[in-house]
Structure 1
């Protein structure tokens, strides 16, 4: 079934193709997975292969290669090959990315750990930025700004992301709740209605509880939003609006953990857009909340007093010498 690129973002096919192939391969039939693995095993080589060569390398047929291209939204193999060549050339020019995807060994230095982790996180944020459909962000922000209630739900690491978004929206006066317990989330979802918004967060898009909560909210007329790295997942299928994120596993960090920064980026853009639409209310909310907590902040520490000398004295007029 060809991918509906318009639903998940205007840059879906073109931006970070290799990462998208690595992500989508989990949901592909076995024959298409073989093609994906052949490409991921040597993208630069794949970009130079004919369709017959790639079929032989993957142990499939030219018909399977064509199906693979269409599954990713390409019209044919020539278009896919150009996209792979473009991406491998772009990555080769970005030398700072050389550590991305490399394994972190138990005896690696902290300097190398920092390099691999930070490069991966920066890259994922850039990938998310490039593939993010701002038209969808605009629709989500508009719905949240007008919502009577907003429900956020995620489990495991996604629950922390939901909780952070809850805090931000509540801070600007949007009635928001985040849940990490499925039963509580389901009861809250059942009480939503027209004009309310439910946001489900799941890297895999296959977390049963998140799917159920979003489906429940949608059945009562709420606008449903999925935040996921898998735009063809069951969660995306039950959502009215889909915001995609990028993710890539590294040593000691699963794809779910790695997706946190991307999820926060997407929701932060939504939050800022909501704040823009509700500027006066947001400004008033910030003023009130800052005053409310002001008494709980310690005064700023002043630097230790220095010994007075002429160079530290204020420049004042000196008395004239007596004649």
Structure 2
């Protein structure tokens, strides 16, 4: 477990994909966080109207070997929450501009911190390796996720990687049809349920390309069908704030992947980074 792991974020994000009995435990834990460290496994089983075995199963689903290590992690999360005291804040009518500036900035910082809690370093490592070996990288995203794909294309192009982003349903279907075995298809979707993305995913799977998903920490069809899953964690999306949190978290994942590939291949890509930097710098002075 890394020091960034926050079990409360994991429970919140995973809750809806748990079994009904585990979900009862999860909901009780989230609603009564403060008292959890003081409860024995028997107490928690009684309070959640489940059994010791169910509580233990829940702990294992969350990645812990036993109840004790789960409790230690809950205590640590409580400690870090005490330090932060920052919750996501939605857009309120008539907010003062200084409040908007600090809330928006804090929400974005929190999205990145929460993503750091759920991201799996081994999956990032696998993603970097397949991107390094790829013949071609194809990014798929709709709406705000499409903008993340465009950012990714701009970055990976700088190190001379063959890549392209497709941001509408029709061009995505065409691109998925033309994928080959040595290609990497990166599907970007916060919910993991975007219909256009899932349609293209079906076709991409048949091509033999490696599928990377960038999606929220939850069970979804996209996460299930991908070869590599890179998770993000953001606040609940609301009508008011839209996809601000998920966009910043996804851009961070792209930055990590780009830095990972560029760093591992630094000898080879240094010349491209220098050339692209110089040409852009020169164009500014014309």
TM bracket, shorter-chain basis = 0.7 to 0.9
Rounded Cα–Cα distance in structure 2 between residues aligned with 1:116 and 1:42 = 26
Deviation at 1:239, TM superposition (A): 1.2
For the Cα contact (< 8 Å) 2:118–2:217, is it kept in 1?
no
Provide, for residues 127-168 of structure 1, a one-character-per-residue CA deviation record: whole Å limited to 9, x for no partner: 333543333323322322332211101122211111110111
1:171 aligns with 2:158: yes
> 1:153: which partner in 2?
140
> 1:246: which partner in 2?
233
Which region of structure 1 is more displaced relative to structure 2, 111-120 or 197-206? 111-120
Rounded Cα–Cα distance in structure 2 between residues aligned with 1:295 and 1:229 = 40
Which region of structure 1 is more displaced relative to structure 2, 99-108 or 167-176? 99-108
Higher helix share: 2
> 1:236: which partner in 2?
223
User: What TM-score do you get using the length of structure 1 for normalisation?
Assistant: 0.77
1:35 aligns with 2:22: no
Rounded Cα–Cα distance in structure 2 between residues aligned with 1:182 and 1:118 = 32
Deviation at 1:288, TM superposition (A): 4.2
Q: How does 1:157-236 map to 2 (within 5 A)?
A: 157-230=144-217, 232-236=219-223
> 1:303: which partner in 2?
none
1:110 aligns with 2:97: yes
Structure 2: any 5+ residue segments left out of the alignment? none
User: What TM-score do you get using the length of structure 2 for normalisation?
Assistant: 0.86
1:67 aligns with 2:54: no
Deviation at 1:61, TM superposition (A): 4.3
Rounded Cα–Cα distance in structure 1 between residues aligned with 2:123 and 2:57 = 28
Deviation at 1:222, TM superposition (A): 1.0
- Relative contact order: is structure 1 or structure 2 higher (C-alpha 8 Å, sep ≥ 6)? 2
For the Cα contact (< 8 Å) 2:179–2:209, is it kept in 1?
yes
Rounded Cα–Cα distance in structure 2 between residues aligned with 1:104 and 1:119 = 12
Structure 1: any 5+ residue segments left out of the alignment? 1-9, 300-323
Rounded Cα–Cα distance in structure 2 between residues aligned with 1:50 and 1:135 = 33
> 1:54: which partner in 2?
44
Rounded Cα–Cα distance in structure 1 between residues aligned with 2:36 and 2:253 = 32
For the Cα contact (< 8 Å) 2:130–2:184, is it kept in 1?
yes
User: Equivalent residue of 2:255, what SS?
Assistant: helix
Which of 1 and 2 has greater Rg?
1
Provide, for residues 7-41 of structure 1, a one-character-per-residue CA deviation record: whole Å limited to 9, x for no partner: xxx659x8111111111112223433332222112
Q: How has the CA–CA distance of structure 1 residues 25 and 196 changed in structure 2, closer, same or farther, with 3 Å as cutoff? A: same
> 1:319: which partner in 2?
none
Rounded Cα–Cα distance in structure 1 between residues aligned with 2:107 and 2:141 = 23
Q: How has the CA–CA distance of structure 1 residues 53 and 253 changed in structure 2, closer, same or farther, with 3 Å as cutoff? A: farther
For the Cα contact (< 8 Å) 2:187–2:214, is it kept in 1?
yes
For the Cα contact (< 8 Å) 1:100–1:116, is it kept in 2?
no
User: Equivalent residue of 1:203, what SS?
Assistant: coil
